[in-house]
Amino acid sequence: MAKYTIGVDFGTESGRAVLVDVADGREIASAVYPYAHGVIDEHLPIPSKEIRLEPDWALQDPEDYIRTFQNTIPAVLRQSGIDPKDVIGVGIDFTACTMLPVKADGAPLCTLSQYREHPHAWVKLWKHHAAQPEADIINLTARRMGESWLDRYGGKISSEWFFSKVLQILTEAPEIYAAADRMIEAADWVVWQLTGVETRNSCTAGYKAIWSKREGFPDSSYFSALDPRLANVIDEKMSRRITPIGQRAGNLTSQAAAWTGLPPGIAVAIANVDAHVAVPAATVTEPRRMVMIMGTSICHMVLSKEEHIVPGMCGYVEDGIIPGLFGYEAGQSCVGDHFAWFVENCTPAAYQQEATARGIDIHQLLEEKAARLEPGESGLLALDWWNGNRSVLVDVNLTGLLLGATLATKAEEIYRALIEATAYGTRVIVEAFENNGVPINELVGCGGLPEKNKLLMQIYADVTGREIKVTASNQAPALGSAMFGAVAAGKAAGGYESIYEAAQTMAHLKDVVYTPISEHQQVYNLLYDEYLKLHDYFGRGENDVMKRLKRIKTEQVLKNT
């Protein structure tokens, strides 16, 4: 009798469930739930009152996550026609650090009427960028105190991460901080909702909350230096019991069974992060092969047997991706988002009309036109910082730059320049790893972009000078979660002993390989040199114009509100 697991992938705009055959990883059915409240970045979704958010805020509604379970799991069961009793486990993955303050029983503060109108009571999405001042304090204090863990994170803690967000809540809304019994990753929170048990996964703890297997969390003295009220934040609001990924978090409660139509009691895996869980789903369980999860942003994941300090990386965590190896993470905060922005804000009406007339997507039309250009032919060069820089500069206050425009510049040329800029950004990351002892021979792409944009994949191969393969699944994180669901269920229930075993049968690559074209590489090497020069000039303090402009902007926006 065939056995199945379900992986649920919580993305930025929607949640997706995939029902997978444990024997071979075949995806039997999938369903998507677009969050009713999406990304909340203008005002709270409260009908009674207009509560506006400041710039750089990005929130979510935790009830959208429950609705994801309620909508997608019944849908995949229905579509597949299988007997729900043959589902042996569930795994989930989430964007991170996406976190929320909750009560001891798990109730999010924003669902309680007394806190509902307070923005700090809501889920802070990964791309909530308003905690930069707090990140600055965290970094300055760590440097001042000589905290050894700082090197594990490339020398910088991001404003996107857990303690930056916690410190922002404490500073700006101490009453919310006080009211919160727990501060928790949304990843762990949804597992709690499925199992009734609060657990904390090693992946988000390691990558986003300064935890390591060998050293645990920073000392109380460090937290106390940030703010005396934070001294016992771990014991008061979090937990020192961190469970390694690949473990079972608990069993599905009858309430969750009622939401989903699944049998109560089946295995639920410890939570994972979307990017990290995609690595084994991309067949990668060994060093030297970098996985790129390419969607609104890119996460770069690579494994190594040794511990290395790589400046400006997001972090490395022992057992963070695959047990027994160090998992290194880097990222670019704006890739698919970039092209979406361009299409929405900069594509002329004539192009929209042409796409409509030909019955194709506007991205397709732009890709087609951009593909006719030679590298360097547009004369354009961009810095891909429309959403800041995550690696290797780790600075959300950097902004986008386009250089080389003339009166003959066309939309497809800008579009191509933006793609190229993100490819240069990836090359900076690849070279930072290589120059610091983490070699990379091959890239494996997964996520929405490799599926949608062949030009982009070829440009990445040309710019990085490396072959790129593509995962067979176009929903690798969900597949990876389903794989961890099978590991959580265990061999006895029809699953697997380990993620290595699961990867061997459940993960596959496509036949397609993108190979660098040497003529293109030559031109891109010249352009990359120019990119690097601008990257360092604007990114490493020689001209901080981007930050000064951002400061003026913030002042002007505040003046008007």
Contacts with its own copies by CB under 8 A lie at 55, 334, 337-338, 341, 344-349, 352-353, 374-381, 386-387, 399-411, 414, 523, 526-527, 530, 533-534, 537-538, 543, 545-546, 548-550, 552-553, 555-557, 559-560
3-state secondary structure of 122: coil
Q: Single out the residue of 116, 106, 94 nearest to residue 40, CA to CA.
A: 116
The residue among 23 and 558 lying less far from its own copies, judged by its C-beta, is: 558
The residue among 298 and 479 lying less far from its own copies, judged by its C-beta, is: 298
Q: Are 334 and 415 in contact (CB under 8 A)?
A: no
Q: How far is the CB of 546 from its own copies (least distance, A)?
A: 6
Strand 468-471 with 509-514, pairing: antiparallel
3-state secondary structure of 299: strand
The residue among 133 and 376 lying less far from its own copies, judged by its C-beta, is: 376
Q: How far is the CB of 53 from its own copies (least distance, A)?
A: 12
User: Residue 40's beta-bridge partner residues?
Assistant: 59
Q: How far is the CB of 158 from its own copies (least distance, A)?
A: 17
Amino acid (1-letter code) at residue 241: R
Cis amide bond preceding 97, omega within 30: yes
The residue among 107 and 557 lying less far from its own copies, judged by its C-beta, is: 557
Q: Single out the residue of 412, 425, 430 nearest to residue 374, CA to CA.
A: 412
Rounded CA separation 186/193 (Å): 10
Rounded CA separation 72/109 (Å): 25
Q: How far is the CB of 495 from its own copies (least distance, A)?
A: 40
Q: Single out the residue of 115, 106, 90 nearest to residue 15, CA to CA.
A: 90
The residue among 169 and 449 lying less far from its own copies, judged by its C-beta, is: 449
Q: How far is the CB of 537 from its own copies (least distance, A)?
A: 7
3-state secondary structure of 284: coil
Q: How far is the CB of 552 from its own copies (least distance, A)?
A: 4
The residue among 114 and 352 lying less far from its own copies, judged by its C-beta, is: 352
- Cβ count within 10 A of residue 442: 13
The residue among 371 and 401 lying less far from its own copies, judged by its C-beta, is: 401
Q: How far is the CB of 389 from its own copies (least distance, A)?
A: 12
Q: Are 25 and 505 in contact (CB under 8 A)?
A: yes
Helix axes 454-464, 362-371, angle to 10 degrees: 40
Q: What are the angstrom distances between the C-alpha of 357 and each of 352, 354, 452?
A: 9, 5, 20
Q: How far is the CB of 543 from its own copies (least distance, A)?
A: 6
The residue among 286 and 519 lying less far from its own copies, judged by its C-beta, is: 519
